[in-house]
Every structure is written in C-alpha cells, then in structure tokens.
A and B are shown apart, each in its own frame.
Chain A
Amino acid sequence: MPNMSLKKNEMPSQDPNVRNKNFLEVALGYTEEQALDEAARCLNCKNHPCVGGCPVNVRIPEFIKKITERDYEGAYQVIHDTSSLPAVCGRVCPQETQCEKYCVRGIKGEPVGIGRLERFVADWHNEHAKEAPAKPESNGHKVAVIGSGPSGLTCAGDLAKKGYDVTVFEALHLAGGVLVYGIPEFRLPKSIVRKEVDGLKALGVKIETNMVVGRVVSIDELMEQYGFEAVFIGSGAGLPMFMHIPGENLCGVYSANEFLTRINLMKAYQEGSDTPLMPLEGKKVTVVGGGNVAMDAARCSKRLGAEVYVVYRRGMEELPARKEEVEHAIEEGIIFKTLHNPVEIHGAENGYVSGMTCVEMELGEPDASGRRRPIEKQGSEFELPVDCVIMALGTSPNPLIKNTTPGLEVNRKGGIVVNEAGLTSHPSVYAGGDAVTGAATVILAMGAGKLGAKSIDEQLSKK
C-alpha cells in the first residue's frame, strides 16, 4: 500500500544559525525510517516519466522498490549501473528540474524525494559495502580522459567497466574537478568525492595529477607517442568572467573561482592553512551574480564571519540558482539585493576595496535567452559599503586545449564543437561537459561523459 502523503519527508538539516558558522554538511540525510517512508510514496507507475527526466537514465522506480524491500545494496547497484557518482548526484543534482519534475506524485502534492533517496542509498553503500568492485578483464585498448570532473570521471568509469585501460589526466593536484575546487564542503563533503575516485581506481582507472594537457603533453602526442587510441576531453569551463567595470582589479576583488578554490581545494578556511584568504570576520562581502556558484561563495563568506550581500541584476524569481540553495542562503542570513547591478568598485589608498556604486534595475522585454532583460534605472546610483567583492558571473571553457590541438573546432563562445555522438572535429577525440556547453550542471556533464564512453566503445570495439 503506497504512502499517500502529499508531502515529501523533510530533509534533516543543521540549524541555520549553527551551520552558518561551520563548514560541515548542511543536509544530514534520511534515516532508514524516513527513507522507507519516502520510498513507499513511489507508485512504481507504468510509464515512469522520472527516468526520462534523468540525464543518465537512472532506473528510478526499480531502485526505489529495492529500498522498500530493504535491499539497499541492490538499490545501489541499480543506480550504479547507469551513474558513476551516486553519492555526488544525490547531493548536487537539481532534481526539481529533472527526475522529480516528471514524477506523477508531483501533479497533486510534492514529487517523491528521489534525490534524497539516491543519497540515502549511496551513503548506505559507502558505509556498509566492504568488497571492492572486481577489476574487469582488460580488452587491451588505451583511452585518455582529460579532466577529472564529473564528465571525465563518468566517462572513465563507464569505459573501465568495459575493460578499457583508462588514464585520467588532471591539471590540479587533486582529482575531482569542480567537485573539489568549486562545490563547498558543506554541500558536498570532499571525503565523498575521494570515495568515488577511489572506486574508479579500484576498477583500474589510472589518475595522473599535475598534468596540464596542452602544456606538458598535447592531445596529438598522447595519441601518437603514448598509444592512446581515443581521447575524451572533459576539461570543463574554468575561465572566470569579469564585468569589466572600473576597480575590478583592486585587492579584495575575487573571481568566485579563486575565492572557492582557495577555500575548497586549498582549505583556506581552516586554521593554520598554508594558503591565505583575506580575513572576512566582521567584513562586508558582496557577491555579484545569482547562480549556484554565487550562492556557494555567499554561504562560504558567511561562514567566515562576514555580512554578506548577493547583488543580482534580475529579480528573485529569475535567480538561476537552485531554489533550495537560495532558500538555504536566506535562512543562513544572506541579504539579497536583486534588481541591482554594480557599475564601479572604489578603492582606498592601500589598493583595497572600500566601496561600490550600484544602480537599480528594472525588467524589460524578454531577450534572446527568453528572460526579461534588465534595464538600468536612470539616476538610481547609490553607494554600497563593502570590503570584498566576489564576481560570480559564470565561466567559459579554457582555450589551452583548443590552442594546442590543431583541427579542433570550437564555437564562438569557445565551446568544443561535437556531433550527436560526442565526437569532435578531430578524429578519435571526443568531448563533453562544460568544455562543450559552457558552465552547466554536474549531471549534464555526467550524461555527456556517458555518451563519450559509449561512442568511444563503439569506435574501438570495431577495431
């Protein structure tokens, strides 16, 4: 008998006034009891529209049924069949616009908490599973994956499961890409990323850190000199954008990338860290932008003791961040100044930020993106006192690989051009994730990594 409650089981979380002072995970995860109760809300309907809403087509009703049977490892295996990173996706996927959006239970009431159930299953597995996955028998084909973010790890995992000899090349000193340098500990504990990466290593995937492909070795060299038969580029969208307004290069103006990398990858939030960050205790921080990265930067700043403003040029409704992230940010005491835009940052004699001039905005007709275009209100300038500004305006693909790979076509925005199989204009070189699309989500990148793996397998298995 299904549980006909119209509401999802709530996610147990740290109290907002406690969590905004620590970097521990905000959402604590379902208990077994809550998971069983929530799983019972799934009707196991015939058409299972949720599966089509998932970029990697996790067989959702099937794994939920396993939960109801208390076969949690079985549930994990169902998810793991199509998703390489269940514990990550259960935390950072925007389920509300994917699987849960199509859930039949959502027509009247709230959809089944698919993401929360996925997280429960993945955490159960990480805690209880003892056996390392068996290393598949090698098929003798060598594949290189560039970048160890969500698309690269997914592609590597899928290929390794089929017996490919996969090497992942990572530019930084730690594998995980945006999962380790971008997403903060309180949303995605780094121990979880490490476990996922260790899982891939157990499958035989080799991870070479400190390898800036394009500098130390080129794609053509990987193929001609090192014997890789195919390459998947999952190098992400790493270049930060700036507004190009006066004062943007003052001390105390960070790109969100730099700010988050210092905190997440380099652990600058920890006492005694070797990597510095300007002290924010009692300071005023303004984050410019309204996406998930802006929320992450704002919530990190809050945890470091700052008074935090988010300045965004459209309205609350238009914030591109996940609703849950915005709600969390508001609960934690972040102040939203929507329909505002900075026009100039002011500096003191010592070169540090001392303030910012903003203007008010109003929304006009929809633009090419379909969103209403923000227009400056004449004469609405005002001063915002601020000590630190974080620009979270989006990122674009790094041109390094394009510049060092002859014959690799990119589009106007620097994204690598691929066909429907993920193949680039360079033979045997595939690409996916943010390197192709520009900044998007973890799960879309994973979908692209999956497609790349499938296409590489089709090409090489014919050999």
Chain B
Amino acid sequence: MYRIVTKKALTPTLVLIEIEAPMIARKAEPGQFIILRVDEDGERIPITIHDFDREKGTVSIIYQIVGATTEKLNRKQQGDYIQDFVGPLGNATELPGAKKVAVVGGGVGTAIAFPVAKKLHQQGVHVDLIVGFRNKDVVVLEDEFKKASTNYFVGTDDGSYVRKALVTELLEEQIQAGANYDAVFCVGPMMMMKFVCKVTEKYGIPTIVSMSPIMVDGTGMCGGCRLTLKGDNGESVTKFACVDGPDFDGFKVDWDEAVKRSRMYGEWERRKHEETCNLFKKEAK
C-alpha cells in the first residue's frame, strides 16, 4: 500500500497527488511513468511521473478525472492509501546534445512536460516551454513552468487567458522568429502531438513525442501498448511504448492507428465512468 502524502486539486478535474514511494523516487527520471491500482480489484493504469523528491522519498503524479479509475482515485484523500504503485517504467527522456529546445505541452500533458523542461533547464539547456489550455479555468502550474524554462509561452483555445492560440501556432511563431531549435519535445493529446509534428517536420526539427497508449503490465508483457512506426527503409516496425518508449521520433509514428487504438475501449470506459459516478452519488445520499 502506498500513502498519499499530499493532494491538491489544480482545477476541478486535474489533480496532483504526491505518493510515498522511496524506492521509485530514488530512481525516477523525467519522461518515465508509473502504473497504479487504486484498490484490490482495480484496473492497472499508467500515469507519467510529474515530479519526484529523492530525499523525501515521494513521487508526484497529475491525473485528469476522465474515467472510472481516476474517479475512484479521486475519492482517496491525503493520508489514504492506494493499493499498488509500480515504477519507474519506460525510458527516461533524452535529447542528447541539444542546446536549445522547445518543450510543448497540452492539457494534462503539460504536467509531463514539466519534469523534462526542468531537467533540461537545470542542465543549462535553453528551454522554451510552450503550453496550451482550453480556457483560463484550466490554466495550471504557471509558477513552476516559469521556473523550469528560459521563456514561457501560453495560449488558450478560446482566448480567455493571455491570447487565443494553439500550441502549434505559438511554436511556429518562435521557429519563424528564428528560434533555431535543436529539438522539440512534445507531450499531450495525440491529435496535438500529430499536428506539432506536422509543423516541426516542415522545418526539419527533430521531434520527440511521449506516447501514452493503453497498457496492462507496463513491462513488455502484454503488447497492448504497441505502435506502428516507419522504419529506416520505409517498412512498418512495431514497438512497445512501455519498454521501447514512451518517447518516440514523432515523424515516424502512425498517428491514425495510435488514435484508433487509444479509443479501443472508449464506449466501455464511458459506461463504466457513468456507473461509478452513479454509485458514488448513491453513497453520498
């Protein structure tokens, strides 16, 4: 069992929890993920590590309440325990040799962009952190982002905060203004990553994306997280996000397939989420 040391709602649906997991905290690196189960019969879900404190022995994650499992997770309060917490899984993000990078995050992906930006920034890399949110109500972690970057750019889909701009637009502006990035690291909804890659490919800027497909064990055993990538000679290559990733060359990912695979249990998940909410409502009465 793993204790929730702190819990903080960043928005009504985006929540940060800090979990006591000293062994994982010792090893965690930006870009890696954990798998958790809320309770005895719970589903295993992967969540990317947001931050870690090696001395305190804690690992923080940010989750969005989107389904039955995150709904159940959100019922747990500070001091409560969750059943399982495994990691660190996957490979750490690496941008070897890059001196100037753009780190692009969208939605809950901004939470994952943070540790990568922070690490690069600490290493003396010039980091432009570009984040996008739906509207002003869901803008989060700005102080942290500013500290973890050289320049911080933010846009909202509806213009209710700072300016109306998608991350692709913010990124392209910087590129056109002569930012001259060695690499771009991008994490967020699959569609956003796909379109960021379309922009960067135009300018020939190597782009690493962090994939978060459906997975069960997270150790290479199930193959549920597999993706199709373009090989060096144009052939199709299958990779497992859990052990070969989660970072991949964004220009090589078969996005359409990845999007479809991510929706495989969509209908089931919606129904399950509804059932869980109804159950909680009943309990509350």
Contact = CB atoms under 8 A, between A and B. Distances in A.
B87 A258 contact: no
**Top 10 A-B pairs, shortest CB-CB distance:** A351-B260, A258-B222, A274-B43, A255-B223, A276-B265, A238-B221, A210-B86, A173-B84, A251-B264, A276-B268
Contacts of A261: 216-217, 221-222
B226 A249 contact: yes
B85 A210 contact: yes
Contacts of A181: 221
Nearest to B85: A210
B151 interface: no
B224 interface: yes
Contacts of B42: 274
A153 B119 CA distance: 41
A238 B220 contact: yes
B83 interface: yes
Interface residues of A, number: 40
Contacts of B260: 251, 350-351
Contacts of B264: 251-252, 278, 351
B191 to A, nearest CB: 15
Contacts of B226: 242, 249
A217 interface: yes
A251 B265 CA distance: 9
A398 interface: yes
Contacts of A31: none
Interface in B180-236: 216-224, 226-228, 236
Contacts of A274: 41-43, 68-69, 272
Which of under 10, 10 to 19, 20 to 34, or 35 or more describes the interface residues of B?
Answer: 35 or more
Interface of B: 23-24, 27, 37, 41-44, 68-69, 83-89, 216-224, 226-228, 236, 238, 243, 254, 257, 260-261, 263-265, 268-269, 272
Given A215-B27, A398-B220, A267 B86 contact: no
Contact of A248 (B23, B86, B217, B238): B238
A346 interface: no
30 contacts: A171-B217, A173-B83, A173-B84, A209-B84, A211-B86, A212-B86, A212-B89, A216-B86, A238-B220, A240-B221, A240-B222, A249-B227, A258-B216, A258-B221, A258-B222, A258-B223, A261-B222, A262-B216, A267-B41, A273-B41, A274-B42, A274-B69, A275-B44, A275-B216, A276-B43, A276-B268, A351-B257, A351-B264, A398-B219, A398-B221
Interface in A231-249: 238-240, 242, 244, 246, 248-249
Contacts of A242: 223, 226, 238
A420 B86 CA distance: 35
Contacts of B217: 171-172, 261
A18 interface: no
Contacts of A28: none
A212 B23 contact: no
B37 to A, nearest CB: 6
A283 B177 CA distance: 56
Contact of A238 (B87, B219, B227): B219
Contacts of B216: 258, 261-262, 266, 275
B257 A249 contact: yes
A79 B217 CA distance: 34
B88, B89, B222, B257: most-surrounded residue (chain A CB, <10 A): B222
A330 interface: no
A297 to B, nearest CB: 13
A257 interface: yes
B261 A249 contact: yes
B238 A244 contact: yes
A216 B23 contact: yes
Contacts of A254: 223-224
A257 B269 CA distance: 22
B27 A216 contact: yes
A274 B71 CA distance: 12
Contacts of B254: 249
A251 B220 contact: no
B219 A216 contact: no
Given A212-B86, A249-B238, A262-B222, 9 more contacts: A173-B44, A210-B84, A216-B24, A216-B87, A217-B23, A239-B223, A275-B216, A399-B243, A400-B243
Nearest to B43: A274
